[in-house]
Amino acid sequence: MADIIVVTGTPGAGKTTVLMAAIAKIGQEKVKVINFADSMLKVGESLGLGGNHDAIRKLPTEQQRDLQKRAAGAIAAETFEKVIVDTHCTINTPEGYLPGMPEWVVKALNPRVIVLVEAPPEEISGRRQTDKSRVRDEEDIRYILLQQDINRAAAFAYAALSGATVKIIENRNNKLEDAADEFKELFERLK
């Protein structure tokens, strides 16, 4: 069974950017990276439910839950020694926040560590405004702070269900290398 490391963070905190910079330092051959949303998207496409992340995010909650279950099962079946799952702690849906890793996902994945990538809200806001690759909801600084607080609470709830530890890595503007080095050090301690 694989050692699973979950990497998560508020949209715009730079979780995927930090992860990719860390993987460049760790070595691609030492780890398999799986984007949980991409796994859900593949399942959704096979079921005719949508072709992009924003469409999946706006599906009814029951359909999102089903996609989560199916994606978690596929990831849990991985045989690679170390698997990093790039995901979100929570998803802001029209009905409210949906746990990104509800009980059935946490138990299927059984992560060893949950890495929460954070950044100052002002920096997250700036990143969101310049990211033209996604359709982002407009949110003020107070809302971004709330999202980060909700994500911290969710990460610790997931850790309580799985026995995982929670590692917070700060990804400040112009400090990507520091965040990537911190992730690499964590990865190396898990040998």
The predicted model gives 65-69 an average pLDDT of 87
Give the residue among 142, 148, 188 at the shortest CA–CA distance from 168. 148
Q: Is the pLDDT of residue 49 over 90?
A: no
Rg over alpha carbons for the chain, rounded to the nearest Å, is 16
Host H or E run for residue 188: helix 176-189
The predicted model gives 144-172 an average pLDDT of 96
Q: What is the pTM of this model?
A: 0.86
pLDDT bucket at 68, cuts 50 / 70 / 90: confident
Q: Is the pLDDT of residue 2 over 80?
A: no
What's at 74, amino acid-wise?
A
User: 3-189: which CATH number, 3.90.1280.20, 3.40.50.300, 2.60.40.10, 3.40.1000.10?
Assistant: 3.40.50.300
Reduced to 3 states (helix: H, G, I; strand: E, B; else coil), residue 41 is helix
Q: State the pLDDT at residue 135.
A: 59
Gap between the Cα atoms of 66 and 14, Å rounded: 27
The predicted model gives 116-134 an average pLDDT of 86
The predicted model gives 58-63 an average pLDDT of 82
pLDDT bucket at 13, cuts 50 / 70 / 90: very high
Percent over 70 (pLDDT), the chain: 94
Q: CA dist 83 to 34, 109, 113, Å?
A: 7, 10, 11
